[in-house]
Structure 1
Amino acid sequence: MKVVEEEQLITVMDGPWSPTGLIREIVDSGTQEDPFYIMDLGEVVARYHRWKELMPRVEPFYAVKCNDDKLLVSTLAALGAGFDCASKVEIELVTSIGVAPERIIFANPAKMASHIRYASAMGVDVMTFDSETELMKIKQFMPHAQLVIRIRCDAAAAQCPLGIKFGCDPLTEAPRLLKLAAVLGLDVVGVSFHVGSGASETAVYGRGISLARALFRTARDAGHVRMQLLDIGGGFPGGRHDDIQEVSEVINAALEEHFPIGSVRVIAEPGRYFAAAAYTLAAMVHAKREIAPIESGGETHTMYFINDGVYGSFNCVLYDHQHVKAETLNDNGTPLSECSVWGPTCDGLDCVLPNVRLPTLAIGDWLVFRDMGAYTLPVASAFNGFPVPTVRPVVDARLASILKELRPLTASQFAATRSGATSGPPSPTAPASPHAEASPLPPPARAVFVECALK
Structure 2
Amino acid sequence: NSGLLNTDLYITKLIPNNYLQGSEVPFYVGNLDSVFEKHQKWQTLLPRVTPFYAVKCNNNLAVLRTLSALEQVLTVPRELEMVMSIGVTPDKIIYAHTTKPQSHIRYACAQGVDMMTFDNEEELLKITRGHPNAKLLLRIAVDDSKSQVKLSTKFGATLGTVGSLLKRAHELDLDVKGVSFHVGSLCTDSVAYRRAIEEVHHVFEQRIIGFQLDLLDIGGGFSGHELEMVLNSKATVWALDEFFPADSGVRVIAEPGRYFVDSAFTLALNVFAKKKVWSLPINGNGLDTMIMYYVTDGLYGAFGDIKLYPDIKPFVLRPHRSVESTEPRYQSVIWGPTCDSADRIMDVWMPELNIGDWILVDNFGAYTIPMSTDFNGFEKPTIYLVVTPQIWKMLNLKVSNLRFG
| TM-score exceeds 0.5 | yes
Separation (CA, whole Å) in 1 of partners of 2:228 and 2:148: 16
The amino acid across from 1:274 in the alignment is F
Paired position in structure 1 for 2:72: 82
Q: 2:210 aligns with which of 218, 223, 226?
A: 223
**Structure 1 unaligned spans of 5+:** 1-13, 419-455
Q: Could you report, residue by residue, the CA deviation over 1:347-370 in whole angstroms, capped at 9, with x for unpaired residues?
A: 1011111x2100111111111101
Separation (CA, whole Å) in 2 of partners of 1:84 and 1:17: 30
* Contact 2:77/2:95 (8 A) holds in 1: no
* Contact 1:20/1:329 (8 A) holds in 2: no
The amino acid across from 2:390 in the alignment is R
Separation (CA, whole Å) in 2 of partners of 1:402 and 1:184: 46
Does 2:374 correspond to 1:382? yes
Q: 2:293 aligns with which of 280, 304, 311?
A: 304
Percent of aligned positions that are identical: 42
Please give the residue correspondences for 1:16-415 in structure 2 after superposition, counting only pairs within 5 Å: 17-29=5-17, 30-31=20-21, 32-79=23-70, 81-85=71-75, 87-170=76-159, 172-218=160-206, 220-224=207-211, 226-239=212-225, 242=227, 244-262=229-247, 263-294=249-280, 297-317=286-306, 320=308, 322-330=310-318, 331-333=322-324, 334-353=327-346, 355-404=347-396, 409-410=397-398
Residue 413 of structure 1 and its aligned partner are, at CA, apart by: 7.5
Evaluate the alpha carbon distance shift between residue 139 and residue 105 of structure 1 in structure 2; reply closer, same or farther with a 3 A threshold: same
Separation (CA, whole Å) in 2 of partners of 1:193 and 1:139: 22
**Structure 2 unaligned spans of 5+:** none
Separation (CA, whole Å) in 2 of partners of 1:97 and 1:401: 17
* Contact 1:130/1:166 (8 A) holds in 2: yes
Evaluate the alpha carbon distance shift between residue 415 and residue 141 of structure 1 in structure 2; reply closer, same or farther with a 3 A threshold: closer
Mean Cα displacement is larger for which, 152-161 or 183-192?
152-161
Separation (CA, whole Å) in 2 of partners of 1:397 and 1:188: 44
* Contact 1:159/1:321 (8 A) holds in 2: no
Q: Could you report, residue by residue, the CA deviation over 1:52-84 in whole angstroms, capped at 9, with x for unpaired residues?
A: 1111110000011111111111100011x2122
Q: Could you report, residue by residue, the CA deviation over 1:153-174 in whole angstroms, capped at 9, with x for unpaired residues?
A: 123321211011000112x111
> The residue matched to 2:279 in structure 1 has which SS?
coil
Paired position in structure 2 for 1:432: none
Residue 143 of structure 1 and its aligned partner are, at CA, apart by: 1.2
* Contact 1:110/1:129 (8 A) holds in 2: yes
Separation (CA, whole Å) in 2 of partners of 1:15 and 1:232: 28
Separation (CA, whole Å) in 1 of partners of 2:242 and 2:101: 37
Q: TM-score, normalised by structure 1?
A: 0.82
> The residue matched to 2:268 in structure 1 has which SS?
strand
Residue 28 of structure 1 and its aligned partner are, at CA, apart by: 1.0
Separation (CA, whole Å) in 1 of partners of 2:80 and 2:3: 38
> The residue matched to 1:133 in structure 2 has which SS?
helix
Separation (CA, whole Å) in 2 of partners of 1:205 and 1:147: 22
Separation (CA, whole Å) in 2 of partners of 1:142 and 1:108: 15
Residue 243 of structure 1 and its aligned partner are, at CA, apart by: 5.1
> The residue matched to 1:221 in structure 2 has which SS?
coil
Residue 323 of structure 1 and its aligned partner are, at CA, apart by: 3.8
Separation (CA, whole Å) in 1 of partners of 2:285 and 2:245: 70
The amino acid across from 1:104 in the alignment is I
Residue 141 of structure 1 and its aligned partner are, at CA, apart by: 1.3
Residue 400 of structure 1 and its aligned partner are, at CA, apart by: 1.9
CA RMSD of aligned residues (A): 2.0
The amino acid across from 1:109 in the alignment is T
Separation (CA, whole Å) in 2 of partners of 1:135 and 1:283: 46
Separation (CA, whole Å) in 2 of partners of 1:401 and 1:182: 48
Separation (CA, whole Å) in 1 of partners of 2:182 and 2:74: 12
Residue 297 of structure 1 and its aligned partner are, at CA, apart by: 1.2
The amino acid across from 1:256 in the alignment is D
> The residue matched to 1:371 in structure 2 has which SS?
coil
> The residue matched to 1:180 in structure 2 has which SS?
helix
> The residue matched to 2:168 in structure 1 has which SS?
helix
After superposing on structure 2, the runs of 4+ consecutive aligned residues of structure 1 that deviate more than 4 Å are: 411-416
Separation (CA, whole Å) in 1 of partners of 2:227 and 2:262: 10
Separation (CA, whole Å) in 1 of partners of 2:402 and 2:168: 52
Evaluate the alpha carbon distance shift between residue 136 and residue 27 of structure 1 in structure 2; reply closer, same or farther with a 3 A threshold: same
* Contact 1:146/1:187 (8 A) holds in 2: yes
> The residue matched to 1:111 in structure 2 has which SS?
coil
Separation (CA, whole Å) in 2 of partners of 1:350 and 1:167: 33
* Contact 2:166/2:208 (8 A) holds in 1: no
Evaluate the alpha carbon distance shift between residue 214 and residue 415 of structure 1 in structure 2; reply closer, same or farther with a 3 A threshold: closer
* Contact 2:147/2:188 (8 A) holds in 1: yes
The amino acid across from 1:83 in the alignment is V
> The residue matched to 1:399 in structure 2 has which SS?
helix
Q: Could you report, residue by residue, the CA deviation over 1:82-132 in whole angstroms, capped at 9, with x for unpaired residues?
A: 1222x3112221112111111111100000111101111111111100011
* Contact 1:310/1:316 (8 A) holds in 2: yes
Separation (CA, whole Å) in 2 of partners of 1:413 and 1:265: 37
The amino acid across from 1:390 in the alignment is T
* Contact 1:152/1:166 (8 A) holds in 2: yes
Evaluate the alpha carbon distance shift between residue 343 and residue 411 of structure 1 in structure 2; reply closer, same or farther with a 3 A threshold: closer
